[in-house]
Amino acid sequence: MKILRALAVGLALTAACMPAQAQVLDLSKTSCKDFLGGGKDGIIIIWSWLYGYYADQDADPIIDFSKVTAKGQALAEACQKTPDKDIISVAEPIYEK
């Protein structure tokens, strides 16, 4: 749980450094094209958030960075093929595995 809290604090600090209009992001309305155009830091934040969002709530508080990266890369590849779809629609089959 401490790791998840640390990640949340890190994400909050990162969000605080972003422009005000970017502090709320509805991923169900964000296209893959926008996601891929968000820059490296934005992509990594969303990868990490999705990994936690789809994680089993009863799982141990462990972050497997190789899984975060693998699922994130799979998401980026899928988004490149379907740039007009929203991120959540593309992410569900990848992250729920």
Concatenate the DSSP letters of all residues of 36-64 into one string. Answer: HTTHHHHHHHHHHHHHHHTS-TTS-S---
Domain limits at 83?
2-95
Q: How many domains does the chain have?
A: 1
Residue 79 pLDDT > 90: yes
- Looking up tokens 């450094």 gives 17
CATH code at position 34: 1.10.890.10
Alpha carbon distance 68, 16 (integer Å)? 23
Give the model confidence (pLDDT) of 15-41 as tens digits: 544 455 557 889 999 999 999 998 888
Query: Is the pTM for the entire model greater than 0.75?
Result: no
